Chain A
Amino acid sequence: MSGSAVETAPPQAPAPTEPPVHKPSLRKRLIPYWLLLPGILWLLVFFVLPMVYQASTSVQTGSLEEGFQVTWHFGTYWDAFTEYYPQFLRSLLYAGTATALCLLLGYPLAYLIAFKAGRWRNLLLVLVIAPFFTSFLIRTLAWKTILADGGPVVAGLNAIGFLDVTSWLGMTEGDRVLATPLAVVCGLTYNFLPFMILPLYSSLERIDTRLHEAAGDLYARPATVFRKVTFPLSMPGVVSGTLLTFIPASGDYVNAELLGSTDTRMIGNVIQSQYLRILDYPTAAALSFILMAIVLIMVTIYIRRAGTEDLV
């Protein structure tokens, strides 16, 4: 606190717990580096280096026949963004909606497993994890059957007026669900639900239930207990769950391809077809970097915000 404290000699350093003879030898000090070497090398060569190559690809010009040359043509970024901003917006919108739905649907189930399942807990967890082991493409294709035109699900949604609401929102057209934004969002929500439920569950499970009892003893109503105790304490799970859902959903092209139409193309579909069908590598590379930048910026802002809320 005071200035003089700085000038006084530092307190006697505590005697070293180990005599200097036992100071680790060079061989011992190198152990962590030997442990890291193979894995880190793998990541440097097959994760970092590819990013460098993709960066160089994005500033190349040329054609497939004549070959591509690095010409530092940054215009590709601007052209790619202005041409495909609807797909960028759509990706963020779909991924954001799917993430919100995952939170809304996933929270009760995570809560149920953590606090109310009793001896059913393990079975419920298995049912949440098991889809990881079944091919997600097969399950996504199953949605084609479920949402088929004139099928029971669509007929039911139509009967309760749900499709009137969604078509007013621009999510569906007429009495079909397949090939509409609703189908794509439904598929995205479905595919990423486990990634929301598991982090939510693991942070809910750690909550001491005595806190709930204490809040109840202090005359908090169940809704208040949830709002003031349970939900704030589950924030780490909410944050990691939303990230694990939003990030992969924003780059996904499987759901939009299998359940959507050309009007529901997301940026993933564009990158995929630019790289694998049209073979316009510079545009594809630029698009994928723009996507990465958008996601990283959004995630950074979100973590900052959610992090401070967590402390309140």
Chain B
Amino acid sequence: MRNPLTWLRRNLVVIAGLGTLAYMILPNVVVTVFSFNNPTGRFNYAWQEFSLDAWKDPCGVADMCGSLSLSLQIALWSTLAATALGTAIAFALVRYRFRARGAVNSLIFLPMAMPEIVMAASLLALFLNMGIQLGFWTILIAHIMFCLSFVVAAVKARVLSMDPRLEEAARDLYAGPVQTFVRVTLPIAAPGIAAGALLSFALSFDDFIITNFNSGNTVTFPMFVWGSAQRGTPVQINVIGTAMFVIAVLVVLAGQMVGNRRKKAQPK
């Protein structure tokens, strides 16, 4: 600390890194602060005065909580479907040699290597041409489609790092194929599957571009927020945003604490 310039140079990375973190957290801080605002007019962009009204009545805005529960339902179903389908694909890709493996790998990779709007638009082209009514089912179909690749990637990474000798050992100890899978393979692959599921839940819940194209008149939560940017943003949106952030941080921290405890419980 004797020479401030040397100190600055030595800690440049830390300062720059924390600066970036501040940039990333700033909107969350604004969202939280403005959830206590009492705005005048339709928009909640300027600070007026402190108020707890929105927190007392989070569903006080027409249609908002309906859209929220719709988003949760879609995220839940698409996570279940994408995780099941994606885990099966990941196991097939890592554990088996078969023809068309390269083609399958590219097919999985492509949805992640394409601007989302291209997929969104092409799905709309399909639904329009086939005369399919846009709504809940088209959103669900689209979400399962784009979550699938991310689940495969997450599960594949985990299964690749698994030691196949553990399964061999289980078989040597006369475990049947089903028993080996349920008692040995699945528990080891579980963190990868959980990561894939969590990722697809977050992606589906937050998806806007693909939903915007394929929802018709159905309003998910991101669609509601999008609409409110034109019609007027209620304070309750910030309440939901704050609550989501807090819940997410708590869930992740709790997950880590469970993980740490497991690690400690395992004697090495």
Does A associate with B in a complex?
yes
A288-B117, A288-B118 known; A138 vs B110 contact (CB < 8 Å): no
Query: B206-243 CB contact bits vs A (8 Å, 1 = yes)?
Result: 10110011000000011001100100010001101100
Is there a chain A Cβ closer than 8 Å to B135's Cβ?
no
Complex Cα distance, B41 from A126, in Å, reads 36
User: B244 near A247 (CB under 8 angstroms)?
Assistant: no
Query: A34-46 CB contact bits vs B (8 Å, 1 = yes)?
Result: 0110111011101
A130-B252, A193-B20 known; A271 vs B208 contact (CB < 8 Å): no
Considering residues B17, B45, B221, which has the most beta carbons from chain A within 10 angstroms of its beta carbon?
Answer: B17
Of the candidates A47, A131, A299, which one forms a contact with B28 in the assembled complex, judged by CB atoms under 8 Å apart?
Answer: A131
Stretch from A5-13, A49-57, A80-88, A166-174 forming part of the interface with B = A49-57
User: A134 near B18 (CB under 8 angstroms)?
Assistant: no
Chain A positions within 8 Å of B31 at CB level? 134, 138-139, 142
Is there a chain A Cβ closer than 8 Å to B148's Cβ?
yes
Complex Cα distance, B213 from A311, in Å, reads 42
Chain A positions within 8 Å of B213 at CB level? 272, 275-276
User: A243 near B24 (CB under 8 angstroms)?
Assistant: no
User: A35 near B208 (CB under 8 angstroms)?
Assistant: no
Of the candidates B13, B111, B212, B237, which one forms a contact with A276 in the assembled complex, judged by CB atoms under 8 Å apart?
Answer: B212
Is there a chain A Cβ closer than 8 Å to B61's Cβ?
no
**Interface residue ranges, A against B (CB under 8 Å):** 29, 31-33, 35-36, 38-40, 42-44, 46-51, 53-54, 56-57, 105-106, 108-113, 116, 122, 124, 126-146, 148, 190, 193-194, 197, 243, 247-248, 250-254, 258, 268, 271-272, 275-276, 281, 284-285, 288-289, 291-292, 295-296, 299
Chain B positions within 8 Å of A42 at CB level? 85, 144-145, 148
Of the candidates A51, A112, A142, A288, which one forms a contact with B27 in the assembled complex, judged by CB atoms under 8 Å apart?
Answer: A142
Is there a chain A Cβ closer than 8 Å to B50's Cβ?
no
Chain A positions within 8 Å of B13 at CB level? 108, 111-112, 116
User: B229 near A258 (CB under 8 angstroms)?
Assistant: yes
A116-B14, A251-B116, A288-B121 known; A36 vs B92 contact (CB < 8 Å): yes
User: A146 near B129 (CB under 8 angstroms)?
Assistant: no
Is there a chain A Cβ closer than 8 Å to B248's Cβ?
yes
Docked complex: B175-191 residues within 8 A CB-CB of A:
none
Considering residues A35, A124, A254, which has the most beta carbons from chain B within 10 angstroms of its beta carbon?
Answer: A35
User: B111 near A275 (CB under 8 angstroms)?
Assistant: no
Complex Cα distance, B126 from A285, in Å, reads 11
Complex Cα distance, B25 from A142, in Å, reads 11
Of the candidates B26, B86, B121, B222, which one forms a contact with A146 in the assembled complex, judged by CB atoms under 8 Å apart?
Answer: B26
Query: B17-38 CB contact bits vs A (8 Å, 1 = yes)?
Result: 1111101111110110010000
Chain B positions within 8 Å of A43 at CB level? 107-108, 111, 145, 148
Query: B114-133 CB contact bits vs A (8 Å, 1 = yes)?
Result: 11111101111110110000
User: B89 near A190 (CB under 8 angstroms)?
Assistant: no
User: A254 near B208 (CB under 8 angstroms)?
Assistant: yes
Instruction: Quote the shortest CB–CB distance from B41 to chain A (angstroms).
Output: 14
User: A136 near B206 (CB under 8 angstroms)?
Assistant: yes
Determine the residue in chain A with the shortest Cβ distance to B18: A112
Give the top 8 A-B pairs by smallest Cβ distance, nearest first. Answer: A251-B115, A133-B248, A112-B17, A32-B96, A108-B16, A39-B85, A50-B122, A142-B27
Complex Cα distance, B40 from A260, in Å, reads 24
User: A292 near B115 (CB under 8 angstroms)?
Assistant: yes
19 A–B contacts, CB within 8 A, in A order: A33-B98, A39-B85, A40-B89, A46-B123, A48-B107, A53-B125, A57-B129, A110-B17, A130-B245, A131-B24, A131-B28, A132-B206, A138-B225, A138-B240, A141-B229, A252-B117, A271-B121, A291-B115, A299-B113
